[in-house]
Amino acid sequence: MRFILSLFVIAFSVPAHADWHVAESDNFVIYADDQAKDLQAFGEALESYNAALNLLSKREATKPSPSNRLTIFVVGSQNEIGKLADDKSKTIAGFYIPRAGSSVAFVPDIRMRGRETDWSMTVLLHEYAHHYFISNTTIAMPRWVDEGAAEFFASAKFERDGGLSIGRPARHRAAELAYARDVSVEELVDPKLYEEKKGKRYDAFYGRAWALYHYLYFSESRTGQLHKYLEGMSNGVDQVEAAEQAFGDLGDLQKDLDRYLDQRRIKVWNLGADVLTSNPVGVSKLSQGEADVMPLRIRSQRGVSREQAL
């Protein structure tokens, strides 16, 4: 009993009259203190997003077992996210915990202005992209590819007609690319070099990872190079050597990438609703008892460190 009470103490606060709902579909379970119609829209948007990932990754849609669906907790604010993540810097806007079963993601309050994605929705799409690729990829991707791909797909826009735009400019990384410490191509493909140059100041790792992934994904002159790079690594080739074998001179790649970022327009995938096979979403209201224990449930699903448990 003492342990349970202590969990309630460290759990975040929720409104006295919480109106919790759960949305369930083939790929998601979403808990949120929100209106049913809003949660329905979130669930349908995420199922469309999953369909787009399948389409662009050329993967056949499969239905995961119920325990392998991603469970998403919408916790109310970025401040609550910081408490759950034990983040004193208060810069984390959401996080994802991969598990063999019941992977979970925690995001702040989600709002879709029209069908445009705001920051919290972008965070959710980023975290789900991680979940998707972890679930469907047999090899471990280097960090820059992992984060670059998540950023590439997370800058999506949900169109009013049910379509989806993928690969849009990562506007949420614009300030980072303009003002943060630059991260070179060589640093992206060489983790040791990156760590040597990394300082306490925030850098442009995510923005540059997005840019390089976007460039390699759409570049006609470099078609197949990203696949060759990942294939080399899967065969045991050193990360830097695999990059040089696939991309050629890294200095030339750096120049090409810089020119790419200076363009006024970039390519985008515009997927119509007719090519996105979505799954139905069911929404139900939690009982008062279920709603009352949501803080404990979320804290439990987050988990605690050994120090906190003791």
pLDDT per position as a tens digit, 107-160? 887 766 555 677 778 888 998 898 888 888 877 789 999 999 999 999 999 988
Asked if 31 and 99 touch (Cβ cutoff 8 Å), the reply is no
Cα distances from 121 to residues 10, 70, 128, in angstroms, run: 26, 15, 11
pLDDT band at 228 (very low <50, low <70, confident <90, very high): very high
Q: Is the pLDDT of residue 91 over 80?
A: no
Q: Are 229 and 247 in contact (CB under 8 A)?
A: yes
pTM for the model: 0.84
Are 301 and 71 in contact, with CB atoms under 8 Å apart? yes
Name the more confident of 180 and 89. Answer: 180
> Higher pLDDT residue, 270 or 13?
270
Mean confidence (pLDDT) of the chain: 86
Is pLDDT at 97 greater than 70 in this prediction? yes
